[in-house]
A and B are shown apart, each in its own frame.
Chain A
């Protein structure tokens, strides 16, 4: 036995830790640094599926039915295998249309119907209240077990007065906690990051606690799995638990029904919808959750059978409720700390379920029951309540409190009447009724509002008759006569053997008949008439959510509205500040300057309705928006036309976009190519023009002089000789020009031949100077040469480099002044490059002409002192140097002559020239 204050203190401490987790999660969410934005948290929060019911009840079920506790976990594994198809679609739909609950989902799909939303909410509340009750019961039982000497003593709990009942306080504390983190503020998306963080944390705690007790029983009390299984076989009374057929009378049909039930439950339980769909941060998280969550279920079930068998062997049948084995086994072995930890694990399972379920159900109650009623009431005029966000919060909080208290009430009333597992499966069967309307709505366009209503009513009616009423009868609240003899004594109407169907357990039996009635009515009634315009448009938005995204929604609304009205309307429910923020963000995204410049078009109406849908449900949102906007109703034909058009236009526009992108790219390429061609053409033109000029100029002199000599025999010999001299020199000039043009063309086109050898630059410079020595003495210039002792060797074409040197030297000789000419030649080398400079003291080059010195036919800018030359020497030299990876440049400080220089790299030479030789 553990002292009550200690258990209470530990429980409170644990709740405070949860509180802190949730608070931290909310704070981080406000700062935009979400702690739940990862797939691990997402998968763990899904494990809210494992409630106190399974935490304690699985062992209980295993102790009575052997392997039959498993379908509850195999079903989710099957469902998660399809999560990337079904759940992803639900997430996408919910995000696109701000759907925050299953009731809203169904109501929105079938034409934003208040009636459907309300019906779904009522079914949920009726189906879920007992489920919440068993969570409270689990906590109460666990507490009693820990704090009483006798393991049977806890039954005394129910004899106490309600205000002495600690369970009431547990329920109230849970309600407060739920309100704090589920309804502290209004969020249009109904997301609760802090709560999700706390739930994920609880999932870890309950898994670790269950594994701890599992390891203790399996390896502490017994010697592993093999030991337990071999010992249990020694007990003939338990042998049936080891076989499939022996453990339960439900048979394979019952097993299949159970798997199916769990499959639906993991998708359609309100708390699962809340964590899986509404709280989903990123669709990609579903990838990991699809296997991590089933893996979690596998892990938490590994020790169920060993604990059940260990408990049975330890306590025997009947002395201790197998539902409490996880606590009573450690307690009976004196492991009080472990028992306390296991209790905390159970507390986790229970509180997690209650918190999420209550938030989900309270959202439904508020949006689909209370709001529609409020909006219809006369007192609820627009002017009377300018800001309703406070009222919304009060409704939410009230709904949470009421749901939890209803759960407590059921717990007080039902007490020990019915086993834990039975209640849980009843809830599963209730929410399974949503499957036809939900799945049909997501994949079939033909479903109508009446169809969904009929299906839900029929399915729920069968559920009440075959499961709920019998459970009441078994609890002694009803006369069990109808159970044994059928309603009005008609055998065929026996609730647990309807129309004589036998051989199934009561759950599978109820599931079969309720789903049959549900699906039958849904399909049959839906097919009685064609969908209305609103149904058809909503059906398309849901079924084609992946194809259409949000754009189509705006094409399906026609009418007029005022921005101010819409803003006021949204502000009434979401608060002024938040509304202004939302509208500003909307304006910013659409590229409008501010709220005032937003056009009041279908897009804005859709935006406003979507924001409202998050807060008050889609059906109410539609009613509210209709109150400020004048909608022109669309006929069915128009809707179908728009949808048809929209899909066609979309397909066309997609193709067009593709085409136009391709065209744009091609055009851009063409434009660039054309630009390049034009540039080349212009260059070619320039060069042609220059070449023409350079050719014609000498030809002019040659032709004129020779014509004159030819026609005029009287020209004297001296003149003739002078003219012939000019003709010869002009002919030489022509030859030189032709050679250089060809040379340059070859180098530029890459067809030049390069004969690379190892070159001693020092020797080469000396050689070039020797060849031009005559030139310098002719023009009377002084030549100063500065060469190092040793220069590194280069791999390059010797003749070409010689040509470059000759060009620079002869240029210098051309430009030096007649008197006092001075030319300096210098060779410098370091470990990276060899540099040659040729400096003269001529007129230099004006700064504005410096950039053009190396262009063809430029000849140093101003043609004032056009020297004998073709204007191609420097361009050719530069091409040669650049071919060897070097660079060539000129410096000409005003009044100080010109200094031409080039540098050749040492290390790069070899690889480059090797390429060139190929």
Chain B
């Protein structure tokens, strides 16, 4: 039961990541503005990427979850 929960979380995470890394969400950040002096596109991709990795770590790291 609880093991199934972790699997469902991972599948959800997969689809969330696929959503984050593709059109149309990606196109929202394809603009010339900057954050912290960096192009917003790069900040977005790397930021989303790091978040996905952190979420994977959180999901699989919880052994019983």
Contact = CB atoms under 8 A, between A and B. Distances in A.
A841 B35 CA distance: 104
Nearest to B48: A74
A86 to B, nearest CB: 10
Given A81-B17, A290-B60, A294-B53, A252 B38 contact: no
B56 A298 contact: no
A298 B23 contact: no
Contacts of A229: 34, 37-39
- Label chain B's interface by main secondary structure: helix
B53 A295 contact: yes
Chain A interface residue bracket vs B: 20 to 34
Interface in A228-267: 229-230, 242-245, 252-253, 255-256, 259
B21 A259 contact: yes
B16 to A, nearest CB: 9
A85 B57 contact: no
A77 interface: yes
A231 to B, nearest CB: 11
Interface string B11-30: 10110011001111011011
A70 B41 contact: no
Contact of A67 (B10, B22, B27, B41): B41
A890 interface: no
Given A81-B14, A305-B42, A244 B56 contact: no
A78 B17 contact: yes
Contact of A252 (B27, B41, B50): B27
A305 B38 CA distance: 11
Interface string B46-65: 10011011101100110100
B38 A226 contact: yes
Contacts of B11: 82, 85
A605 to B, nearest CB: 34
A378 B24 CA distance: 62
Interface string A285-317: 011101100110010001001000000000000
Given A82-B10, A245-B30, A298-B46, A255 B52 contact: no
Nearest to A80: B56
A67 B53 contact: no
B60 to A, nearest CB: 4
Interface string A64-92: 00010010001001101110110000000
Q: Pick the most buried of A80, A244, A252, A305: most chain B CB atoms within 10 A of its CB.
A: A244
B10 A256 contact: no
Given A81-B52, A244-B30, A294-B53, A74 B39 contact: no
Contacts of B52: 77, 81, 294
A225 interface: yes
Nearest to A224: B37
Q: Pick the most buried of A226, A288, A291, A305: most chain B CB atoms within 10 A of its CB.
A: A291
B9 to A, nearest CB: 10
A274 B41 CA distance: 35
A256 B56 contact: no
A230 B37 contact: yes
Contact of B41 (A244, A255, A288, A290): A244
A252 B32 contact: no
A78 B26 contact: no
B64 to A, nearest CB: 12
Contacts of B7: 84-85
Contacts of B23: 252-253, 255-256
Q: Pick the most buried of B32, B39, B61: most chain A CB atoms within 10 A of its CB.
A: B39
B13 A81 contact: yes
Interface string A207-238: 00000000000000000011001100000000
A70 B41 CA distance: 12
B45 to A, nearest CB: 6
A302 B46 contact: yes
Contacts of A295: 53
Nearest to B56: A291
B13 A226 contact: no
A252 B60 contact: no
Contacts of A294: 49, 52-53, 56
Nearest to A252: B23
Q: Pick the most buried of B22, B24, B60: most chain A CB atoms within 10 A of its CB.
A: B60
Nearest to B21: A74
B26 A255 contact: yes
Contacts of A287: 60-61, 63
B22 A70 contact: no
Nearest to A296: B53
Contact of B60 (A67, A84, A244): A84
Given A74-B21, A244-B30, A252-B22, A226 B57 contact: no
A78 B6 contact: no
Contacts of B41: 67, 242-244
Contacts of B63: 287
Contacts of A85: 7, 10-11
A70 B23 CA distance: 15
Given A84-B6, A252-B26, A259-B22, A291 B37 contact: no
A790 B42 CA distance: 90
A63 to B, nearest CB: 15
Contact of A244 (B17, B26, B36): B26
B61 to A, nearest CB: 7
A295 B42 CA distance: 16
Contacts of B54: 291
Nearest to A229: B38
A225 B10 contact: no
A74 to B, nearest CB: 5
A82 B14 contact: yes
A67 B38 contact: no
Nearest to A291: B57
Nearest to A227: B37
A225 B60 contact: no
A81 B30 CA distance: 26
Contacts of B42: 67, 305
Contacts of A291: 53-54, 56-57, 60-61
A229 B7 CA distance: 40
A628 to B, nearest CB: 42
Given A81-B14, A242-B32, A294-B49, 19 more contacts: A67-B42, A74-B45, A77-B56, A80-B56, A81-B52, A82-B11, A84-B60, A230-B37, A242-B41, A243-B32, A245-B30, A259-B18, A287-B60, A287-B61, A290-B56, A290-B57, A294-B52, A294-B53, A298-B53
27 contacts: A67-B45, A77-B17, A77-B49, A77-B52, A77-B56, A78-B14, A78-B17, A81-B10, A81-B14, A82-B11, A84-B6, A225-B38, A226-B36, A229-B37, A229-B39, A242-B32, A242-B39, A243-B31, A243-B41, A252-B22, A255-B23, A287-B60, A290-B56, A290-B60, A291-B56, A294-B53, A298-B49
Interface of B: 6-7, 10-11, 13-14, 17-18, 21-24, 26-27, 29-32, 34, 36-39, 41-42, 45-46, 49-50, 52-54, 56-57, 60-61, 63
Interface of A: 67, 70, 74, 77-78, 80-82, 84-85, 225-226, 229-230, 242-245, 252-253, 255-256, 259, 286-288, 290-291, 294-295, 298, 302, 305
Listed from nearest, the 5 A-B pairs whose CB atoms lie closest are: A226-B37, A252-B23, A291-B57, A244-B30, A81-B14
